[in-house]
Structure 1
């Protein structure tokens, strides 16, 4: 196994399931010391799956600044510093026409898919500066162009802007900031549901419309796999991408969003 992350400390948020879980497990396999971060209490069990003393789980709510700050402090306490942050928290809660979103639902989408990345980037910066540099990889989305999830699209547009602005601001401090923009991705059933209230029959119809749009927008006319997403994220996190910063890499089968 390529040991690209030997000697590196990585924090992966949203590591309990989906893309984040795949990133964290592979990073450990490639030699990294990895803090698996999620608000799901089974995150510690996921870390154990890595089979390494260098994989540790941490439960916190990244929709609060205190949660993000606590995760970074715990990583430093556990591993002595931070070299890489992968921001994997996010995901559309509901699919519906924008006119049908309630104001509280709009707020919830922004809080889920923008604020954890915004908070974590801020919380990690002092530790990267103390380290003399580092890398942040934000997991955005190609859904900045799509239907039935306008608030989520706006949140991910914010992640893209954050990526570019932060990269420009901290390049001279040897901090790279990059992102991937995944398209539709097949993943095992979620242990924590996307929408805790459950989807109504109408919402299931709207979700089907969004899935159809995403599939047809891909040149391959299909969803990608978790491995399709994990590889590019870890490439951007590695020293192989040392001259890449401020970039948002579409990983969506040709649909650039």
Structure 2
């Protein structure tokens, strides 16, 4: 369902916008009137932005590595140069790279999980705040996860727990300055195969067993006993980003069929 004009006059930066939930958020926000900036390190983010502009909306793609502070700063700068301001930031970068019991993680794998699922949100929040403070307001929507209470993803769970803490602390710190900070916590979500896999290595038989544990636990933990759809994740993200949620800040909203994480 499209709410025509809901984001008219707003500028929204969406990270991880080349595919999946991020592409869905950017596409629908543009259809509802937003000028969107799609940030991703994959070159096919240009395709998503091109499809949006072909439909008559305003969109700019920026290729950057959001695991670095420099990449986050560059993304915000592109938004300001293109559209003059930033009203909303949706931090969508993240996702489990490996799935296995914690004792089987190597130190470099633990660091990689945290870099992927916590640091892009940390960096982007830091980079966007000066612009929102200059505008005397804005909204940050972080995409966390109910997997903070899941199996075989301890480093990822720790990273998303950090996203939750960041959400609450920033909301408290900046509420008096007109900035809302909120988050959704998605559960398992059906999506097309990733064009760039998070873990390009070939899965062993044991890896497949460990991953199946995640799938089984996700379905059993959901009261609806199913995965959600991308549209079912996009809708609450955009609600929280909109003026309809003007009295909501500091909350992490589970979107997982009843699983609270």
Q: TM-score, normalised by structure 2?
A: 0.97
**Unaligned 5+ runs, structure 2:** none
**Unaligned 5+ runs, structure 1:** none
2:127 paired with 1:123: yes
Asked if 2 retains the 8 angstrom alpha-carbon contact of 1:28 and 1:52, the reply is no
How many residues align? The count is: 257
Asked if 1 retains the 8 angstrom alpha-carbon contact of 2:30 and 2:57, the reply is no
In the alignment, what sits opposite 2:236?
232
CA distance in 2, matches of 1:29, 1:95: 36
Deviations 1:81-135 (A, max 9, x none): 1000000000000000000000000000000000000000000000000111000
2:122 paired with 1:86: no
In the alignment, what sits opposite 1:183?
187
Deviations 1:130-149 (A, max 9, x none): 11100000000000001010
In the alignment, what sits opposite 2:115?
111
CA distance in 1, matches of 2:56, 2:117: 30
CA distance in 1, matches of 2:82, 2:231: 28
CA distance in 2, matches of 1:45, 1:21: 10
- 1:202 deviation in Å? 1.3
Output the aligned Cα RMSD. 0.8
- 1:205 deviation in Å? 1.1
In the alignment, what sits opposite 2:146?
142
Q: Moved runs in structure 1, 4+ residues, more than 6 A?
A: none
Q: TM-score, normalised by structure 1?
A: 0.99
In the alignment, what sits opposite 2:247?
243
CA distance in 2, matches of 1:197, 1:83: 39
In the alignment, what sits opposite 2:67?
63
Asked if 2 retains the 8 angstrom alpha-carbon contact of 1:47 and 1:56, the reply is yes
